[in-house]
Amino acid sequence: MTTYRQPGLVLTDHRFPVPLDHARPDGERIEVFGREVVAADKDRSGREKLPWLVYLEGGPGFGARRFIGPQAWLGRAVKEFRVLLLDQRGTGRSTPANRQTLPLRGGPAEQAEYLAHFRADSIVKDCELIRRRLTDGAPWTVLGQSFGGFCATHYLSTAPEGLERVLVTGGLPSLYATADEVYRAAYPRIRRKNEAHFARHPQDAERVNAIAAHLIDHEVTLPGGGLLTVEAFQSLGILLGSGDGTHQLHLLLEGAFVPTPGGPALSDAFLEQVQAHLSYAGHPLYAVLHEAIYAQGQGPTDWAAERVRAEHPEFDARTALAEGAPLLFTGETVHPWHFTTDPALRPLRETAELLAARTDWEPLYDPERLAANQVPVAAAVYQDDMYVDTAHSLETARAVRGLRTWVTDEFEHDGVRAGGPRVLDRLLSLARSEI
């Protein structure tokens, strides 16, 4: 362990060996990294007296956020908890899984088999091993953001004895929906986010169509070697699911073109910013396992977002340009072409295909156990959340005994970041029946 300080905080880095396959506890082991965070004044008065809160980041494929000091929700949490910021397996400083490391497993078939152990079920089993090591068996509080809420729901289904309470922000999953059903609910929301963006920034419609036309007529390479196709450009719509995303997108678009001797061209500055938003180099599992988080033995996911997109011709760029309609951005969707356009994903294309074809995924949720739940649970559900369907979340909320919801349109999907102290305070009060 390594301990060090930031303003107002004492941090201790932990590394936990865990089985790759929890069904084979004596088999291969990987490493999971966690960063313990305690308020400096609490550390001096005895951190051992503080209850634990483990934070599960959204994703899949993202390590826990790196804070500098008591920022966002963390400042509220350390007032009463020892916080563990957990890098879920394969992310952050946990044993990495990416284009550089996965060939150590062998070919695509071996890589796909390895990555089948990186869903919520394995993450929760990791948490239980870590909890018993850190808390001497005492239950802890889980804070799950987005996909972290999916993991927390699985936790309630399989190991509620490890939980003091559960707090979910923008992450109550459907207990039953297939990947196809998830995306059939998603595309109309994505369209509404587009309409709201163009209503706020009407000048962007012309800019977006000009960029799309340029990309159809020219092959454009990003600074890191990625291809900026028109479909890749449309995926910048992922920004529209965050509180300031519409403003970020508007500012990005306004500097797209510069004059050159050969005519207008997309500027280096624009392409650099686009690459920062679109590259999966830092979180490849987000793309590789994205649809697998919805798979529960109901058949293959088989690139559901791509197939369902075909049911919504309004998202076709060439049709929009031909009809003079504003080009629509897409959102939190992963497509086969991502594994052609992005250098971080190209070597994983066949691996991703095998995972998309897999049919033996285990169920992730136990409706009967959730209906008998006795763990206090509170969830922030964001009205018209672009990433997680509100109707699905509320259906699940009704299915989990004792779960209390805070339904709000004050925040987008990133409410725990944008309004962290207030969001966390509200959920703690709900879970404790203080309000």
DSSP letters of 215-240?
A: HHHS--B-TTS-B--HHHHHGGGGGG
Bridge partners for 227 per DSSP? 221
Are 273 and 407 part of one and the same domain? Answer: no
Q: Are residues 144 and 42 in the same domain?
A: yes
Asked if pLDDT for residue 249 goes beyond 80, the answer is: yes
Give the pLDDT of residue 44: 67
Nearest Cα residue to 16 out of 144, 166, 163, 128: 128
3-state secondary structure of 17: strand
Q: What mean pLDDT value characterizes the chain?
A: 96
Burial class (CB in 10 A: 0-12, 13-18, 19+), 315: buried
Residue-wise pLDDT for 34-76, tens only, equals 999 999 988 766 677 899 999 999 999 999 999 999 999 999 9
In the prediction, which pLDDT does 224 show?
95
DSSP string covering 114-164: HHTT-SHHHHHHHHHHHHHHHHTT--EEEEEETHHHHHHHHHHHH-GGGEE
For 388, left (φ over 0), alpha (ψ -120 to 50), or beta? beta
The pLDDT of residue 48 is 75
How far is 308 from 313, CA to CA, in rounded Å?
10
Summarize the confidence of residues 293-308 as an average pLDDT: 95
Confidence (pTM): 0.96
Residue that terminates a domain, selected from 340, 357, 374: 357
* 178-203 residue pLDDT tens: 999 999 999 999 999 999 999 999 99
pLDDT above 90 covers a percentage of the chain that reads 95
Catalytic residue among 26, 136, 217, 360: 360
The secondary element (H helix, E strand) that includes residue 166 is: strand 163-169
Both 149 and 26 in a single domain?
yes
Report how far residue 97's alpha carbon sits from residue 122's, in angstroms, rounded to the nearest whole number.
15
Based on the fold, state whether residues 237 and 373 are members of the same structural domain.
no
* DSSP-derived secondary structure letter, 212: H
338 is catalytic: no
* Residue 297: per-residue pLDDT: 87
Domain edge (last residue) among 341, 357, 373? 357
For residues 11 and 154, membership in a common domain is answered with yes
62 and 104 inside one domain: yes
Number of domains in the chain: 2
Residues 94 and 115 in one domain: yes
| Predicted pLDDT at 4 | 87
| Average pLDDT of the segment spanning 296-305 | 94
Together in a domain, 150 and 44: yes
Question: Which pLDDT tens digit goes with each residue over 350-387?
Answer: 999 999 999 999 999 999 999 999 999 999 999 999 99
What pLDDT shows up at residue 46?
66
290 pLDDT above the threshold of 90: yes
28 and 152: one domain? yes
Q: Are residues 222 and 333 in the same domain?
A: yes
Nearest CA to 274 among 341, 339, 323, 340? 341
Average pLDDT (124-129) is 98
Contact 249, 240 (CB under 8 A): yes
Whether residues 208 and 323 share a domain: the answer is: yes
Domain identity same for 30 and 153: yes
Residues 414, 32, 294, 243: what is their CA dihedral angle, to the nearest 10 degrees?
Answer: 10
The span from the CA of 273 to the CA of 288, in Å, is 23
- Residue pair 17/25 in contact (Cβ under 8 Å)? The answer is no
Q: Which of 306, 341, 357 is the last residue of a domain?
A: 357
pLDDT at 182: 97
- Catalytic: which of 122, 146, 157, 174? 146
Q: Which residues of 413-424 are buried (b: 16+ CB within 10 A; e: fewer)?
A: bbbbbbbbbebb
CATH of the domain at 387: 3.40.50.1820
pLDDT digits (tens, 9 = 90+) for 141-166: 999 999 999 999 999 999 999 999 99
265 contacts 258 by C-beta, under 8 angstroms: yes
Active site residue 146: yes
Residue range(s) defining the domain that contains residue 348: 181-357
Catalytic residue (choose from 43, 389, 413, 414): 413
